[in-house]
Amino acid sequence: MLVANHTSMLDIMLMLWASPNPFVFVGKKELVKIPLFGFFYKRVCIMVDREDTRSRTGVYRRAQRRLNQRLSICIFPEGGVPEEHVVLDEFKDGAFKMAIAHSIPVVPMTFFDGKKRFPFTFFSGGPGPLRVRVHPFFETGLLSEEDKANLREQVRGLILKDLQK
Which tens digits make up the pLDDT trace of 85-122?
A: 899 999 999 999 999 999 999 999 999 999 899 877 77
Q: What CATH number is associated with residue 121? A: 3.40.1130.10
Q: Would you list the DSSP string of 11-53?
A: HHHHHHHH-SS-EEEEEEGGGGGSTTHHHHHHHHEEEE-TT-H
Q: How confident is the model at residue 149 (pLDDT cuts 50, 70, 90)?
A: very high
- Residue 140 pLDDT greater than 90, yes or no: yes
- Mean pLDDT for the stretch of residues 59-78: 93
The tally of domains found in the chain comes to 1
Residue 77's domain comprises: 2-164
Q: What is the mean pLDDT of the chain?
A: 91
* 82 pLDDT tier (thresholds 50, 70, 90): confident
Cβ within 8 Å of residue 126, ≥6 positions away: 116, 117
Mean pLDDT of 10-20: 91
pTM: 0.90
Q: What is the pLDDT of residue 31?
A: 81
